Amino acid sequence: MIDAAQTADQIFVLAKQWVLGYSPAALRPLLSAVLSVVPVLIAFPLLFAITTVLERKGLGRIQNRYGPNRAGPFGFFQPIADGIKSLTKEDIIPSSADHAVHLLAPVVLVVAAFLTYAVLPIGRGMVIANLNAGVLFFFAVGTLVELAVFMAGWSSHSKYSLLGAMRAVAQMISYEIPLVLASVVAIMAAGSLSPVGIVAAQAGYSGILPHWFVFTPWGFAGFILFLVAATAESNRSPFDLPEGESEIIAGYYIEYSGFKFALFFLGEYLGMFASSAMAITLFLGGWSAPLSFLTWVPSYVWFFLKLLAMIAGFIWIRGTLPRLRMDQLMGLAWKFMLPMALLNIVAAAVWKFIPSPPVRWAVCAAILIFPCVVLSRGLRRAKKLQVRSYQFAE
Amino acid sequence: MSAASVAGEVMEELDAAVRPADDFGEQLLEVSMGPQHPSTHGVFRMNVALDGERVMKLKPVFGYLHRNHEKIAEQETYLGSMPYTDRLDYFCSITNNWAYALAVEKLAGITVPERAEYLRVITGELTRLQNHACLIGFLLQDMGASGTPLMYAFREREKILDLFEALTGARMMCNYMRFGGCRVDLPAGWLEQARGVVAGFPKFLDEFEQLLQSNEILMERTQGVGVLSKELAINAAVSGPMARASGVNYDLRKVDRYGIYDRFAFRVPLGAHGDVYDRYMIRVLEMRESVKILEQAMKEIPGGPIVDPKTKIRGFRPKPGEAYGRIEAPKGELGFYLVSDGSANPYRYRVRPPSLINLTVLEDMCLGRNVADVVIILGSVDIVLGEVDR
Amino acid sequence: MVGEGILKGLAETARNFFGSYVDGERLTTVQFPEQRLAPIEATRDFPFLVYDGEDWHAGMRCVACQICEKECPPKCIYIEKSADKKPDAMGKAQFYPAKFDIDISVCMSCQICVEVCPFEAIKMDTEFELSTDDRFGGLLLHKDKLAKSNEHYHRIHPTEAAAVDAGLAAERMAAEARTKAAAEAKAAADTKAAEAKTAAASMQASGGGTQ
Amino acid sequence: MELEVAKAAIEAAVPGCRLEMVVNPSPSAQHSLLMDAEHAVAVATWLRDAEGMRFDYCSNVTGIDWPAKELTEKVKVKKLVDGPNGPEEKEVDEVRKTLVPGFLEVVYHLFSVERRDGPVVLRMRTVDREARVHLPSLTGVWRSADFQEREIFDLYGVVFDGHPDLRRLLMWDEFKDHPMRRDYVEPDDYEYEPTAHDEVLERARQHVIAAGGRTA
């Protein structure tokens, strides 16, 4: 039984080694790389396809509609139909556009999005490149997305796309800071910059509950901060200003059509998956099972289940919230997220130095909750936001 | 994007204090928002001059849907214009019919039987309910809420449209009123169905409130945005919920007491700030008042004829003269000004479109705000281009 | 910042998400070609011409008086009067439309033609699946396509059609009475005709009221 | 507000202004005051601000076109007619035609939000329909006249002096005529949506050919 579970867990690793065993030694490094990369290149676009259906169906249900249900069983062939549609659509390049950059932008975006997957542990022993500074690599490569977005907005030579690109760059750069600072706590706790190391640091169970970082005050705060920042990084609602369709129509990719548009779409979702996967790695124990008696389920299954849960959360939020305004978005990043992320680092440090669990829980929670309440109240009061009462004339 | 928005509001205020706004006139980015912009509510266009994302100038451009409705009406019989009025504000065809019928009744001195007045109030208030519900949905859509509030609004609207179809035969182009009454009487079971819909409406409003009212993002986006002062609102003849959000106590149902509105107990909500949030909330509160009116009207509706028997469908020729009739349409004061020369066609037929006149102050509300604000300010004005351009 | 308002909203959307699986009130979508709503009696789309009996040409009620053509607000009706006459619903020799076209790309379904028709000859249909790939010809309906039986009328607008039939029957009776009376003594005939006339008028009025 | 009272009050307050009651014979009995162009702004400002008037809400502004019309009347005139006994005076019927010159009229419907009163209807008339079509703009008094006066300028061709931004509102800027005038002739190259009717299609086709295009 245990053996079967282990085999199931390691089946992809074993399969790769089995193939490598039959190949000539000279080709092995190359083949090993290909065998690691290709499944990722297949799995995540596939997940993208599934997500688009799930998102549209989920939003539909939130809005009391069916969502797509005509293409194939329960509408699950919808992405295929969409794919065929985007492939066969005319690829329009504005005559005043910078053709080379216009063409390159979606490619850069997708390549950058894929590169981030190199360091994400998808399962036990399943990581393309186990870099010892993997988290750094992740954030560094993630920044490339901004370049691609700006290339798209600039090269399109359209006012709306330029506005969108400006918004996107400002937003992504601003939110990079809370994003990185929020992940620092996990790095501090694990003492490692390697995603694999961070997952390993969260292994083990007390009773049936796992030792995930999210179950500590600083971890929880870090997780929330990371999620908010990641939402902004991946331009998801309510931070979808760069593409706010009611304001600047589609933002930086307004001048893209056909397959290039699909690439943008893909790149955006890949970015969201990568951010979610990083959040899972940093705070949700990576591929480890949530309860000790569930460890027999293969690790990659847990990883993808957690990923799907995160995606569901993103969809839920998208279905509920209106979008923020640019200055409010910036205000949130600089006035709230940044101080909270810094405080969170302090809290994580304090946690390390106080041995007694009840005391450190109380101290850390106090460090975080009190400023959070004060800060949000203060910001709210400064803007005079309130639920108003109204007068009536007879 | 100017540096100002990157560093947030504090910097923005500093900025405005240090640099005069017209300092960089040459660097303004001119953007044509519309006529195919997704949130201009039709083929409306604004020529916007932007400094970064801040609006320095905004000029509305109309006429993309202009079909010279008034000229067409001069070539039609009086009755022949009735179906055309449906197409003005195509969300509220019944109130359009009502305003036109009221003007013609004033012109020709026709009285309306009791039951017809009740029918007008019931259908008119149902129209108001669905218009306001959808407007709020559109407003939130403009704010980027992925259509969820809009879909909830449409879900409720569907029930009201079903009622309209059962009564008038059409969901949107009702063509329901006639001079001196209404076209058809209630079919069997209609009132019960309508009572059910009206009784269920507050539940929908509660849901809406739960979803949005205390939502921080909504408050942040709307409070203090697009402020319209009371003085300007009156001077620019801004009417309807938009004027009342600025604190102008001017509801024609109370002022003119046209029809039988003096028989119903209802209140007029008034805003104190005149911003987008007030305009949103006034509409929510007005829906609650409309529900009250509907409940009373459906309880009291008497029997009797539905149309003045003296009026004839064909060969209607009012005596020479003129009349201005106006009602409180969901979007504001909808007036019809008719001049008769004694023939079967009106000599002059003028629509006072609330949507167009409420747009007079659009630039005043938008100056100095962001593009994102322009979109929701426009959304909160509640325009339908069929009426703006006529 | 992060506050109860947002959480309340999230709870509301979650309620709607799950509600749409259990509550028919919430999920109001009708999956059109497979599911259809029950027809609403008052529905109107485009006009059609009513005929009585089996033969559409013989039974057509329209007498080509061209009132609807004149009153139609968008002027979508085209009528050409016939040169000869045929008996109408009353049995009286009348003109009939040699040509009766309705351009449904122009028609705005306002029902004014129905209201002004003194012969109950034109009524509103409920057929809405009229799409065609011929933009001009396919949307210009000629009288053979417009003619629909009284049974069809009864099927789509039962209440209204019954009232119309009653009115017509009364009118027919009155007409018969008139002809009969003409044969009788002049004085007696006069009073009788007047009675029948008033009866017919009141019947018609009640018929018109429910339209 | 009794219009007679208002008229007297205005005439007292604005020296030199000439007002004329225009009686409305319809059952609506909304009579109106005809203002002269010179004093219109002063009258309007006074109506807006004066105590007891406060017509602060100019609801509706619209134009009416009154083209020149020929009034024909039969009059009996005494005339010298050649009779059998030489010229003699006789009463004969004569059809006398008088040409009433056309003019454009602008109508303002005023209400008072403060006193909940109205409507007071003001009218102004241009001298003729071609050259002397200038009227003072009341946009400075009531902002609501802004778009509506632009619309009248667009559709009727009344030029409002003092309007801050007098451009066409509904028609495009290059458009020449004023479509709401009674004698407006629809141009032939009107963008006809082709219909099933030959006449319209034929006209549309002619224009395509004239524009050098091909027709199917």
In this prediction the ipTM stands at 0.81
Q: Provide the 3-class DSSP secondary structure of residue A207.
A: coil
Nearest to B322 among D30, D57, D113 (CB): D30
Task: Check A324 against B147: CB less than 8 A apart.
Answer: no
Does residue C96 belong to any structural domain of this protein?
Answer: yes
Domain boundaries, chain A: 2-381
C13 neighbourhood in chain A, CB within 8 Å:
62, 316, 319-320
Nearest to A316 among C14, C26, C28 (CB): C14
* pLDDT (0 to 100) of residue B3: 38
Does residue C102 belong to any structural domain of this protein?
Answer: yes
Residue pair A51/A67 in contact (Cβ under 8 Å)? The answer is no
- Residue numbers of chain B with a pLDDT score lower than 70: 1-26
Residue A150 has pLDDT above 80, yes or no: yes
Give the best residue of B85, B115, B155, B179 to mutate against chain C (max C CB count within 10 A): B155
Q: pLDDT per residue over A275-320, tens digit each?
A: 898 888 888 888 887 877 777 778 888 888 888 999 998 888 888 8
B144 neighbourhood in chain C, CB within 8 Å:
none
Tell me which residue of B145, B133, B261, B138 sits closest to B207, measured CA to CA.
Answer: B133
Does residue C112 belong to any structural domain of this protein?
Answer: yes
Q: Does A59 touch chain C (CB under 8 A)?
A: no
* pLDDT (0 to 100) of residue D75: 76
Nearest to C6 among B76, B79, B215 (CB): B215
Q: Provide the 3-class DSSP secondary structure of residue A100.
A: helix
Nearest to C1 among A58, A61, A376 (CB): A376
* pLDDT (0 to 100) of residue A355: 78
Query: Nearest C-alpha of chain D: how many angstroms from C131?
Result: 15
* pLDDT (0 to 100) of residue B78: 87
Nearest to C13 among A320, A332, A379 (CB): A320
Strands C93-103 and C77-87: antiparallel
Query: What letter represents residue B305's amino acid?
Result: P
Task: Check B68 against D179: CB less than 8 A apart.
Answer: yes
Give the best residue of D21, D60, D105 to mutate against chain B (max B CB count within 10 A): D60
pLDDT band for position D205 (50/70/90)?
Answer: low
Nearest to C112 among B79, B87, B212 (CB): B79
* pLDDT (0 to 100) of residue B140: 86
Task: Check B63 against D169: CB less than 8 A apart.
Answer: yes
| All residues at 6 or more sequence positions from B187 whose CB lies less than 8 Å from its CB, including other chains | B166, B167, C41, C42, C159
Where is pLDDT greater, at D52 or B159? B159
Q: Does A324 touch chain B (CB under 8 A)?
A: yes
Task: Check A66 against C12: CB less than 8 A apart.
Answer: no
pLDDT band for position A216 (50/70/90)?
Answer: confident
Average pLDDT, chain D: 80
Query: Nearest C-alpha of chain A: how many angstroms from B368?
Result: 13
Residue pair B69/B351 in contact (Cβ under 8 Å)? The answer is yes
Query: Nearest C-alpha of chain A: how many angstroms from C130?
Result: 23
Nearest to B173 among C1, C108, C112 (CB): C108
What is the percentage of chain C residues whose pLDDT exceeds 70? 84
Give the best residue of D31, D55, D57 to mutate against chain B (max B CB count within 10 A): D57
Residue C78 has pLDDT above 80, yes or no: yes
* pLDDT (0 to 100) of residue B7: 40
Rounded Cα gap, residues A212 and D179, in angstroms: 75
Nearest CA in chain B to D121: B324
Nearest to C111 among B81, B175, B212 (CB): B175
Rounded Cα gap, residues B304 and B181, in angstroms: 11
| All residues at 6 or more sequence positions from A352 whose CB lies less than 8 Å from its CB, including other chains | A188, A189
Does residue C26 belong to any structural domain of this protein?
Answer: no
Rounded Cα gap, residues B290 and B279, in angstroms: 16
Rounded Cα gap, residues D42 and D139, in angstroms: 13
* pLDDT (0 to 100) of residue B127: 92
Task: Check D197 against C137: CB less than 8 A apart.
Answer: no
Residue D86 has pLDDT above 60, yes or no: yes
Q: What is the mean pLDDT of residues A158-184?
A: 86
* pLDDT (0 to 100) of residue D200: 60
Q: Which chains touch B (3 or more CB pairs under 8 A)?
A: A, C, D
Does residue C116 belong to any structural domain of this protein?
Answer: yes
Query: What letter represents residue B124's amino acid?
Result: G
* pLDDT (0 to 100) of residue B31: 83
DSSP codes, A127-158: -S---TTHHHHHHHHHTHHHHHHHHHHHHTT-
Rounded Cα gap, residues B322 and A233, in angstroms: 63
Q: pLDDT per residue over A62-84, tens digit each?
A: 888 888 888 888 888 888 888 88
* pLDDT (0 to 100) of residue C198: 67
Residue pair B335/A212 in contact (Cβ under 8 Å)? The answer is no
Give the best residue of C2, C7, C8 to mutate against chain B (max B CB count within 10 A): C8
How many distinct structural domains can be found in chain C? 1
Inter-chain Cβ pairs, chain A and chain B, closer than 8 A? 151
Two tokens, residue C133: 């790939």
pLDDT band for position D89 (50/70/90)?
Answer: confident
C30 neighbourhood in chain A, CB within 8 Å:
none
Residue A229 has pLDDT above 50, yes or no: yes
Task: Check B211 against A249: CB less than 8 A apart.
Answer: no
Does residue C180 belong to any structural domain of this protein?
Answer: no
Write the CATH number for C134.
3.30.70.3270
Query: Nearest C-alpha of chain B: how many angstroms from A112?
Result: 25
Does residue C91 belong to any structural domain of this protein?
Answer: yes
Nearest CA in chain A to B209: A387
Rounded Cα gap, residues A136 and A278, in angstroms: 12
Lowest mean pLDDT among A381-385, B51-55, B241-245, C62-66: A381-385
Residue pair A343/A196 in contact (Cβ under 8 Å)? The answer is no
Rounded Cα gap, residues C124 and C108, in angstroms: 12
Two tokens, residue B372: 């994102």
Residue pair B175/C50 in contact (Cβ under 8 Å)? The answer is no
Does residue C30 belong to any structural domain of this protein?
Answer: no
Q: Which residues pair with B337 in a beta bridge?
A: B324, B350
Q: Provide the 3-class DSSP secondary structure of residue A198.
A: helix
Task: Check A386 against B219: CB less than 8 A apart.
Answer: yes
Query: Nearest C-alpha of chain B: how many angstroms from A62?
Result: 7
Residue pair C48/C145 in contact (Cβ under 8 Å)? The answer is no
Chains D, A in contact, 3 or more Cβ pairs below 8 Å: no
Residue pair B157/B187 in contact (Cβ under 8 Å)? The answer is no
Which domain does C53 fall in, by range?
A: 45-153
Give the best residue of D192, D193, D197 to mutate against chain C (max C CB count within 10 A): D197
